[in-house]
Amino acid sequence: MHSNRLELLTTTLLLLGSSAFAQQPTAQPPLMLPTCTPSMIAGTWHAAFGYGTPVYGTAQNNGFACPLTIAPNGTVNSGACIVGSTMTVSPRPSGTLTIDRSCHVVGLITFGYCNPGRSCINSWEMSVSLWRSADGSRLTGTQVLRCPKCRSIHDAAATWVSPFEMILGQ
């Protein structure tokens, strides 16, 4: 009789253990992002160039927005920009961007703008370090804005660092 109880207890424990083991969730593989290729940044992106208040705390707002078209080879060209009342953007933003396998976008965009009565600079250089979002709709990161011709007694060349984002257009 003792042997029957032991067999019953052993069988019950085995069934409970195997039942609990069967109910364990299976491990999901980690989310793997695709390897990025140059074609993943080709298209038209909307970019807001925000300079002046509040980004730099100056009394002027030199912000503007432009559609940027990135060709499959990384060449960047701009469509017509949206600007403030008397401001102009010339030359329009252009440059080259590249994307690596890990979806990091880097490059240089140059442009000029004129805010009459305040400043007219036609040689801004903007280095970007952006990351492509998982869904491919955004390039987000930072910009380093440099003005090689904006020399002062105190600075060899004025530079500014700020956030920068491009949103994929239709």
* CATH code: domain of residue 56: 2.40.128
Residue 121 CA to residue 108 CA, distance in Å, equals 17
111: which 2 tokens?
């442009």
Mean pLDDT of all residues in 53-74: 74
Mean pLDDT of all residues in 7-11: 49
* Position 162 in a domain: yes
- Tens-digit pLDDT profile for residues 16-43: 444 444 455 566 666 666 799 999 999 9
Per-residue pLDDT, 3: 53
* Position 17 in a domain: no
- Tens-digit pLDDT profile for residues 111-127: 998 877 767 888 889 99
Beta bridge partners of 28: none
* Position 15 in a domain: no
Q: Based on C-alpha coordinates, what's the Rg of the chain? A: 28
* Position 24 in a domain: no
Is the pTM here over 0.75, yes or no?
A: no
* Position 140 in a domain: yes
Per residue, the 3-state secondary structure of 60-120, as one string, reads CECCEEEEEEECCCCEEEECCCECCCCCEECCCCEEEEEECCCCEEEEEEEEEEEECCCEE
Q: Into how many domains does the chain fold?
A: 1
Give the distance, in angstroms, between the CA of residue 88 and the centroid of all CA atoms in the same chain. Answer: 26
Contacting residues for 115 by C-beta, under 8 A, at least 6 apart: 60, 62, 84, 86, 87
